[in-house]
Amino acid sequence: MNDNNKVSNKIADDLQPVSMYQMFARMFAHLAKEAVDEFGDKGAEAIKRGVWNFGVERGKGIAKRAFARGKPNDSDNYLISYDMDRSDEFESTDSYYEGYVEQVFSRCVFASEFQKMGMEQYGILYCEMIDPAIAYGYNPDLKCRHDKHFFTDNKCTFCFKLEKEKGAADE
């Protein structure tokens, strides 16, 4: 075959493609590392604020998705209105209860990439902030409890529960 006829955007059959999730995790870890190396705690706090703002924006979009389906932005409709498709690089079990949802991840490509790179200390800046921020953007009364993390527990656990803000008027 003439080299001039090669297709430039095709991955060779003998190479494993790198997913967008893997690329995102790698890019995030490198950006966070640079910010923390350069600015210390202030850099880490800036990264966390950026992740929070990103998450709130996503949560607002998820609320719009629930609304477009004619559903309230409550805990029952949170995960089914989610904006990120679950690839086979994630594995979770969702359990629905009266007023809350529990989610247990047994596989997460983000955590896996952070661990492969030895950059858990930077990845945790994403992991600790993103889900509470998305939940808040979706509904400020939807609280996210994130008790277990891959970096210490080999799984991530979440509980999403609607709670009234302190001082809110009773109905």
**Radius of gyration from C-alpha coordinates of the chain:** 19
For the chain, the helix, strand and coil percentages under 3-state DSSP, each to the nearest 5? 55, 20, 30
Residue 110's CB is within 10 A of a number of other CB atoms, namely 23
The pLDDT assigned to 14 comes to 65
Chain segment 85-110, per-residue pLDDT in tens: 878 999 999 999 999 999 999 999 99
Which domains, ranges and CATH numbers included, belong to the chain?
Answer: 19-162 (3.30.1380)
Q: Which two tokens stand for residue 18?
A: 């790198």
Q: For position 18, what pLDDT does the model report?
A: 87
Distance CA 24, CA 43 (A): 19
Question: 107: which strand partners?
Answer: 91
Residue 4 has pLDDT above 50, yes or no: yes
More confident residue, 167 or 64: 64
Q: How many helices (H) and strands (E) does the chain have?
A: 6, 4
Q: For residues 22-39, give the mean pLDDT.
A: 98
Residue type, 35: A
Amino acid (one-letter) located at 55: G
- Which residue in this structure is represented by tokens 């993103």? 130
pLDDT score recorded for residue 85: 81
Higher-pLDDT residue of 60, 167:
60
Question: What's the rounded mean pLDDT across residues 116-120?
Answer: 97
Other beta carbons within 10 Å of 59? 25
Task: Tell me what the mean pLDDT of segment 102-127 comes to.
Answer: 97
Q: How far is CA 18 from the centre of its chain?
A: 19
- Which pLDDT does position 84 carry in this prediction? 87
CA distance 60 to 131: 13
